[in-house]
Amino acid sequence: MRAVQISTRGLSQITRRVSPAGFLMTAITIALGFYLLYPVLLLLIYTFNVAPEVFFGPPQWGLDNWRAVVQQPHIIGSLWNSLRVWGMTVGISLPVAVVIAWVLARTRIPFSHGLEFMFWISFMLPSIATTIGWITLMDPSIGVLNLILARLPFVDEGPFDIFSVAGIVWVNLMGNGIAVKVMLLTPAFRNMDASLEEAAKVSGASNLITMVRVTLPLMIAPITLVFALQLLRIFQSFETELLLGSPIGFFVYSTLIFSLIDREPPLYGQATVLASLTLVIIAVIIPIQRWILTRRMYTTISSGFRPGLVSLGSWAHLVTGSIWALLFFLTLAPIASLVMGSFMVRAGYFNLNRVFTTEHWETVLTDPVFASSLLTTIALGTIAAFLSPLLFSVLAYILVRTKWKGRIVLDWVIWSSGAIPGILSGLGLLLLFLGTPGFSVIFGTIWALVLVVIIQGNTTGTNIMKATFVQIGQDMEDAARIAGAGWVRTYFIIWIPLLMKTLVLLATLNFAHAAGSTGSIILLASRETLPLSILALEYRLSGANQEAASIVAIVLMIITVVLASAIRAFGLRSGVRHT
């Protein structure tokens, strides 16, 4: 009897020691770790498999893949090229985006919400569509702009060459280099209490000094997060560098990985070795990011929060005109080029006997695969748009608002998942689905694609939500709890209105990502679940009807814009409003 009492006492102590929060944190970490990091572990294991055919036959273990990567001199060159493109893109886009986000969120200018949505539209344009559009405009031989400028006096030939490092940087900037940063930073600037800026104004500071001395220091957390997320994205950018860099022998990290896979026989082992090296960058980013978020207080919304806008006076129209001019290059120029190219017999060739035709549209719209791809894209994007923001907001709440043990491990799991390029993440999940009992049933279904796109957006989405939670004071949640509201009620009454702008942003981001995703899902999609993005890629790579890729991209863009308009209209009627 005494032994039974001792056992019962010990069990009760263990039960008290392991709280429900501990169980929940452990379950979340294990579940995310399995889906996010286990595929990475499979890839790392395959770096040591030197068998000629890694998917068939017994494995052969060794270090030959690592030796081969170290001995290739162009590995260092591709790394340097990636850093060059990333450095020039971020060096230009981040300051420009910070200024634009401040103007849209903190000042009174005409059509501010319309201008903000135009940056959303720029982001929604698929990368492959934007790149094709700028090729049509700036091809050194047949580019429309070059042909027009060559007709001017004292101009022998067009000055633009899109197939260059400068061309790659330009397309990255015009694609989503500027737009995505404006989208991420504008909600953060909008959530800043106007009283902080008014205090600076009372002391005699101008708008510029207030922005530099008050606004930017308070915005260091979201700005740093955007910077860190951009560092991850440079290793996942693919379409632009492939289409513009390959003709001139310019390889970045992602295109070099693809070249190792897209050959006979594929060098999967060496490709996974290259991908695993990006984890070193994550090991540097995470401590810096956590130090910045925890070293000081960045609360900009509290129970006394009061929104307000700054007047630019006579500068308002000039600033507005400059933003409209930038948006012309971000949206209208590539869209017009795409539309024109889709109606041409051969995009960019004006010297043919018959220049324009509708045959390409007839080919695409009568393709039986097109209707199926259209439905798949709508379903995939809609599911991702609704599920992702809710999941990311809960994860961000746990990381920022709770004191649960294991938060650092969970944060590392989330950040580490963003290190693997999309095509290798898809390869790891393919190994997971085919090699793990019970998972093969979802292979080739739309749910496998949903899982992939949510995983791919996990790092960005969770950290965007973290930046928003960091800005919001604890006193409002405490007041709700004192009034007797539980966590669920507090979430819907307090958090949803405050987070609505960011939730709408994430819904749009995830729909655009899901609709335009290629590398991460190309190994997992079947003919029954083929989205428009992969269909466009197939048209482009087939060589038989490359103009059809522009048509599919246009349809994809229309779908994204229509859905984003509906989500945005709902979001503008909800949450904290600025007047």
List pLDDT tens digits, range 471-497.
Answer: 676 666 677 677 766 667 777 777 777
Say which residue, 329 or 352, is predicted with more confidence.
329
Average pLDDT over residues 492-508: 77
Q: How confident is the model at residue 8 (pLDDT cuts 50, 70, 90)?
A: very low
Q: Which helix (H) or strand (E) holds 557?
A: helix 547-572
Average pLDDT for 281-292: 62
The predicted structure's pLDDT at residue 6: 44
Rounded to whole angstroms, the Cα distance separating 384 from 217 reads 34
Peptide bond into 265 cis (omega under 30): yes
Binning pLDDT at 50, 70 and 90, where does residue 206 land? low
Q: What is the pLDDT of residue 3?
A: 47
Tokens of 486: 């539980």
Q: Which residue has the higher pLDDT, 311 or 452?
A: 452
Other Cβ atoms within 10 Å of 241 Cβ, number: 27
Cα separation, 274 vs 419, in Å, equals 11
CA angle centred on 155, ends 152 and 160, rounded to 5°? 100
Grade residue 271 by pLDDT with cuts at 50, 70 and 90: confident
User: Cα–Cα distance between 543 and 556 in angstroms, integer?
Assistant: 21
Phi, psi angle pair for 108, to nearest 5°:
-95, 105
Q: Which two tokens stand for residue 225?
A: 């997060």
Report the distance separating Cα 44 and Cα 38, nearest Å.
Answer: 10
Q: Judge if pTM exceeds 0.85.
A: no
Q: Convert the pLDDT of each residue in 138-186 to its tens digit.
A: 888 878 888 888 888 877 777 889 999 999 999 989 987 899 889 888 8
Q: What is the mean pLDDT of residues 246-256?
A: 82
Best CA proximity match to 105, nearest among 194, 177, 210: 194
Q: Which of 54-58, 80-84, 532-536 has the lowest mean pLDDT?
A: 54-58
Lowest mean pLDDT, pick from 356-365, 473-482, 511-520: 473-482
Q: Residue 198: what pLDDT? A: 62
What 3-state class would DSSP assign to 550? helix
CB 119 within 8 A of CB 321: no
Q: Most distant CA pair in the chain: distance in Å?
A: 106
CA distance 386 to 453: 12
391 or 286: which carries more pLDDT confidence? 391
Smallest CA-to-CA distance from 175 within 265, 239, 108 is with 239
For 97-119, what is the mean pLDDT? Answer: 85
Q: With pLDDT > 90 as the criterion, what percentage of the chain qualifies? A: 5
Query: In terms of pLDDT, which residue wins out, 283 or 400?
Result: 400
Q: Looking at this protein, which amino acid is placed at residue 148?
A: I
- pLDDT of res. 55: 65
Among 39-43, 148-152, 284-288, 317-321, the range scoring the smallest mean pLDDT is 284-288
Give the gyration radius of the chain's Cα atoms: 25
Please give the average per-residue pLDDT across 248-265, as a whole number. 79
The Cα–Cα gap between 389 and 511 comes to 11
Mean pLDDT: which of 165-174, 309-318, 466-475 is highest?
165-174
Question: Residue 406: what pLDDT?
Answer: 78
Task: Report the pLDDT value the prediction gives residue 516, as an integer from 0 to 100.
Answer: 78
- Beta-ladder partners of 344: 356
For residue 21, what pLDDT band results from cuts at 50, 70 and 90?
low
Domains of the chain (ranges, CATH numbers): 22-50+62-572 (1.10.3720.10)
Position 476, amino acid:
M
Neighbours of 117 (CB within 10 A): 18
Q: Which residue has the higher pLDDT, 20 or 71?
A: 71
Residue 92 pLDDT > 90, yes or no?
Answer: yes
Separation CA 64–CA 203 (nearest Å): 66
Q: What confidence tier does 37 reach under pLDDT thresholds 50, 70, 90?
A: confident
Q: pLDDT value at position 195? A: 63
SS3 348: coil
What is the rounded average pLDDT of the residues 10-23?
A: 53
Task: Tell me the mean pLDDT in the region 455-475.
Answer: 76
CA angle 276, 278, 281 (to 5 degrees): 140
Average pLDDT over residues 309-333: 84
In 483-531, alpha helices (H): 487-490, 496-516
Please count the other Cβ atoms lying within 10 Å of the Cβ belonging to residue 558: 11
Nearest to 289 by CA among 462, 172, 406, 173: 462
Helix (H) or strand (E) holding 308: none
Across all residues in the chain, what is the average pLDDT?
76
Give the pLDDT band (50/70/90) at residue 34: confident
Contacts of 341 (CB under 8 A, 6+ apart): 132, 133, 136, 347, 348, 547, 550
Lowest-pLDDT choice from 248-252, 284-288, 299-303, 483-487: 299-303
Alpha-carbon 15 to chain mean position = 42
